[in-house]
Structure 1
Amino acid sequence: MVEGHSPASAAESATARHVLHVHANHEVWTWASAVAIAADLRRALALQARARLLLSGGATPGPVYRALSQAPLEWDRVDVGLVDERWLLPDNPDSNAWLVHHELLRDHAAAAHFEPMTQAGRHIEGAVATANAHARREASVAVLGMGEDGHVASLFPGMKDQERVFASQRDYVVIDARGCPGARQWHQRISLTPHGLARIPHRLLLLHGERKRGVFEQALASGDPHRWPILTALDSDSGEPLHVHWCE
């Protein structure tokens, strides 16, 4: 059961823009990450009527979402949305919506309100418009992942129209990731922009394995967000650092 205190981390280091939490093993990482997310949501619910939680897809966060589903929160006051989505219907097992539905929206968290980005019969520009309408209510917490190419959300290095996307003042835009290996076969996507990411006060990055930590450290050393889009997650309008949870 997720309660209010995190299991001890093996180590922690901090800069002005990020805090690295190093956990002893995968089990500790899973529960510590879930506790951290639940604590941020609990603080948000203490200050406002509803809280918004934005989640990422991929292979890494599933265990954390399962642990988070057991948190004794007022889930009926939580709106769950997505950081990004492939242009797939929510019932497609390769969609981020499918992952969230099957891994988080169970146990206590089944009471949360889920906002999938796509639905049958809707074109992609309409889906983006709806995502931006939801984003008018600022998200409280975002859970992020990172690819081995340094992408975050669906912001890929070398993607088409990267300058336009990075300069956008909208929270969500259509992404054309053709030619980006990290996008695999799903080149058409919807994603938070750097502007949208910066509006979210509490951002957690889930990393697992030495390779991912090496990529993150390489990105930090480079300082180039166009080559390493993960660096855009360091920027926050609130001044809150990015919390990075890692284990081997």
Structure 2
Amino acid sequence: MYQINEFKQRESLDQALASKVADILVEAVKSKGKASIAVSGGSTPKGFFKALSQIDLPWANITITLADERWVAFDSADSNTRLVHENLLQNKAVAANFFHLKQDNILSEETLADLNVAAASMLLPLDVLILGMGEDGHTASLFPCSDQIDECFSTSAPLLRVLPKTAPNERISFSFLSLKESKNIFLHISGTGKKVVLNKALADTNIKEMPIRAFIQDPEINTQVFWAE
């Protein structure tokens, strides 16, 4: 299931989403002493990151991670970890904890196994998940072009290695089954082009053709779509 929240200006969306997420994180910390949030990369969430970073939250009890990451160096322009450090782990949010998906130089089976154990014990289920969406309908690194697309939806492991054929870099991504257990799921998109992609995703049900469909059409998942012109 899904609900669309539309905004005329991206700044209004950023503030509204930041306020919504902040309330959820506060309640999670109150109820269990900690909270976890996974965010996505790209240029779209930068304004949201900056707005959230300026809110007074119990950041020391909040762990931030990524829905997926490219296996690149921290100083690479393609690093989502760098993006989060430069735009979200700032201001008041500098006190937050960060769970690194990209560890070691090589994404070996041993490294992946260690990350799966840590993610399961420290993060899951996520209190908040912020998804993005590509032009091909991929979300996180659940790529329809990858040979791992079946595993993306079937594995019970929290994380998996993905090699997209239409995008650069080896990836590590949370699996669909781990992401769908998130307590609050948001899809953050902007621009008329992404609205066209969203409408295409709503017009059919083949999740392996457009993985975002799994989040907006599954009756067990309530995805809040935040879109701005």
TM above 0.5, one fold? yes
**Does 2:66 correspond to 1:73?**
no
**Does 2:194 correspond to 1:212?**
yes
Partner of 2:228: 247
**Does 2:174 correspond to 1:192?**
yes
**Deviation, structure 1 residue 124:** 3.6
| RMSD, aligned CA | 1.8
Q: In structure 1, the residue corresponding to 2:50 is in which secondary structure? A: helix
Residues 201 and 236, structure 1, Cα contact 8 Å, conserved in 2: no
Greater mean deviation of Cα atoms: 96-105 or 82-91: 82-91
Deviations 1:77-120 (A, max 9, x none): 00111100001123323111000000000111000011111234
Deviations 1:150-206 (A, max 9, x none): 1100111121131122211111100011x22xx2x22x1001111111111111111
Greater relative contact order: 1 or 2 (C-alpha under 8 angstroms, separation 6 or more)?
2
Q: In structure 1, the residue corresponding to 2:203 is in which secondary structure? A: helix
1:39 aligned residue (23, 39, 45) = 23
Mapped to 1, the partners of 2:67 and 2:200 lie a distance apart of: 24
Shift of the 192–55 alpha-carbon distance from structure 1 to 2, 3 Å rule, reads same
**Does 2:96 correspond to 1:112?**
yes
**Deviation, structure 1 residue 29:** 1.1
Mapped to 1, the partners of 2:104 and 2:163 lie a distance apart of: 21
**Deviation, structure 1 residue 240:** 5.1
Q: 5+ unaligned residues in a row in structure 2: which ranges? A: none
Q: In structure 1, the residue corresponding to 2:115 is in which secondary structure? A: helix
Q: In structure 2, the residue corresponding to 1:205 is in which secondary structure? A: strand
Mapped to 2, the partners of 1:44 and 1:207 lie a distance apart of: 25
| Paired residue type of 1:46 | K
**Deviation above 6 Å: which 4+ runs of structure 1?**
none
Mapped to 2, the partners of 1:242 and 1:115 lie a distance apart of: 24
Shift of the 236–46 alpha-carbon distance from structure 1 to 2, 3 Å rule, reads farther
Partner of 1:11: none
What is the total number of aligned residue pairs between the two structures? Answer: 226
1:142 aligned residue (129, 146, 153) = 129
| Paired residue type of 2:210 | W
Mapped to 2, the partners of 1:118 and 1:126 lie a distance apart of: 13
TM-score, normalization: structure 1? 0.85
Mapped to 1, the partners of 2:134 and 2:24 lie a distance apart of: 24
| Paired residue type of 1:202 | N
Residues 158 and 175, structure 2, Cα contact 8 Å, conserved in 1: yes
Q: 5+ unaligned residues in a row in structure 1: which ranges? A: 1-16
Q: In structure 1, the residue corresponding to 2:212 is in which secondary structure? A: helix
Greater mean deviation of Cα atoms: 104-113 or 129-138: 129-138
Identity of aligned residues (%): 32
TM-score, normalization: structure 2? 0.92
Shift of the 171–48 alpha-carbon distance from structure 1 to 2, 3 Å rule, reads same
Residues 202 and 217, structure 2, Cα contact 8 Å, conserved in 1: no
Deviations 1:29-57 (A, max 9, x none): 11111112212212211211111111111
Shift of the 83–133 alpha-carbon distance from structure 1 to 2, 3 Å rule, reads same
